[in-house]
Amino acid sequence: MSQLKKSPAQTDTSSKMTDFINELPEEVYVMADDITLSDLLSFPATRHWTVSMISNASHHPGNLPQKMDEEERLMMHNILTINNTLPMEMRAACFSKCQKLVHLARELKRSKTNE
């Protein structure tokens, strides 16, 4: 199991959505322990989403807990380092692909609703 503690995020918990996100079932963590960041970056179906996640996590420090322990700081340092290693063109291409997939999914949902 991951060495990092599975504590609730210490961000704004005023919305029900944030509360819901912070309450991941334990079995999700158990299954996730079998998947590495390298796996997600290597798999074509998740690569663009993973690059997007890394970049978003790197550019939104306001979402970080106010106090992080050494392991959390090291993880964030690694995320920032990975993000800075990725060429901007690659990140932009991943964002574009994610945007197109989200748009396509919304269009499909709308077309099914209108049937």
The Cα–Cα gap between 67 and 89 comes to 33
The mean pLDDT value for 13-17 works out to 50
pTM, rounded to two decimals? 0.74
User: What pLDDT was estimated at residue 113?
Assistant: 86
Compute the average pLDDT of residues 51-77. Answer: 83
Which are the contacts of 7, defined by CB distance < 8 A and separation ≥ 6?
A: 65
* CA–CA distance, 18 with 41 (Å, rounded to integer): 26
